[in-house]
């Protein structure tokens, strides 16, 4: 029997959120270990031994330690194939990977709070300007995703089943709306996908407010 999975997570991290969502969809039990980014617990020597990049999430599966949410999801898909995160159809599979890559490479890194704070520290930009830049980055990615997915039939991003594209999109959209006040009326396809995901028990259990370290 496989050892219990352990996830090092911060409730408000979209990267951690997508891993929680995926684990719930797969029906995999896991132990939650909170890493408070507000207190910079990710900078501790103990955590650095787990992940030299000092970011969450981190997954432990017995003696195997893995960081980076994309890598974690691909590992879960290979190691625990039940409730697949990727469709069998080759074209739809790589469409899912394309969507995931747009979120992880073109949207999410450029509005991380530590990145915005670093820009402010080095260049002295006002907070309002930083938030405007973050909104621009998110909306630029959403424009591309809307065009990519608008003609695909089904409830979710790539059909009638929840797959990896949805796992990356739903937390990203939630944060775009709540943290950065992005107007989703401009993105009807993404809004529909988000609403469908929000109705899923697996998503509801993964939201920041439901985590042991929820920010009050």
Q: Which two tokens stand for residue 138?
A: 């998110």
Nearest to 171 by CA among 192, 194, 144: 194
- What is the number of other CB atoms lying within 10 angstroms of the CB of residue 155? 15
Half-sphere exposure of 66 (CA within 13 A, CB side): 16
Residue 215's pLDDT is 80
The first and second tokens of residue 171, run together, are: 């937390």
Q: What is the DSSP letter of 179?
A: T
Q: What is the pLDDT of residue 117?
A: 59
What is the rounded CA–CA span in Å between residue 187 and residue 177? 12
Q: What is the pLDDT of residues 21-59, one digit of tens each?
A: 999 999 999 999 999 998 999 999 999 999 999 999 999
Give the C-alpha separation, 216 to 148, whole Å.
Answer: 37
For residues 139 and 102, give the distance between their C-alpha atoms in angstroms, rounded to a whole number: 12
Task: List, in order, residues 6 or more apart from 212 with CB less than 8 Å away.
Answer: 11, 32, 34
Give the residue ranges of the chain where pLDDT is below 70: 1-3, 109-132
Q: Residue 47 is encoded by which pair of tokens?
A: 């955590």
Query: What does the pLDDT read at residue 1?
Result: 40
Please tell me the pTM assigned to this model: 0.91
Where b means 16+ CB within 10 Å and e means fewer, 25-54 reads bbebebeebbbebeeebbeeeebeebbeeb
Is residue 28 within 8 Å of residue 21, measured between CB atoms? no
Q: Which of 91, 87, 93, 67 lies closest to 9 in space, CA to CA?
A: 67
So what's the pLDDT on residue 118?
Answer: 56
Strands (E), the chain: 5-9, 30-34, 58-61, 64-67
């Amino acid at each position: 029997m496989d050892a219990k999975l352990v996830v090092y997570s911060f409730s408000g991290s979209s990267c951690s959120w997508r891993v929680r969502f995926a684990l719930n969809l797969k029906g995999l039990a896991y132990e939650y270990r909170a890493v408070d980014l507000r207190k910079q617990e990710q900078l501790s020597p103990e955590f650095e031994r787990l992940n030299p990049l000092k970011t969450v999430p981190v997954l432990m599966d017995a003696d195997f330690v893995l960081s980076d949410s994309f890598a974690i999801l691909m590992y879960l898909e290979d190691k625990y194939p039940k409730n697949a995160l990727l469709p069998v159809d080759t074209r739809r599979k790589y469409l899912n990977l394309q969507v995931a890559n747009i979120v992880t490479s073109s949207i999410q890194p450029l509005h991380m709070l530590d990145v915005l704070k670093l820009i402010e520290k080095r260049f002295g930009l006002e907070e309002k300007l930083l938030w405007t830049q973050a909104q621009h980055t998110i909306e630029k990615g959403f424009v591309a995703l809307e065009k990519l997915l608008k003609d695909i039939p089904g409830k979710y991003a790539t059909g009638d089943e929840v797959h990896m594209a949805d796992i990356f999109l739903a937390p990203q959209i939630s944060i775009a709306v709540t943290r950065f006040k992005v107007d989703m009326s401009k993105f009807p396809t993404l809004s529909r996908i988000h609403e469908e995901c929000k109705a899923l028990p697996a998503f509801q259990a993964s939201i920041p407010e439901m985590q042991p370290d929820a920010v009050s």
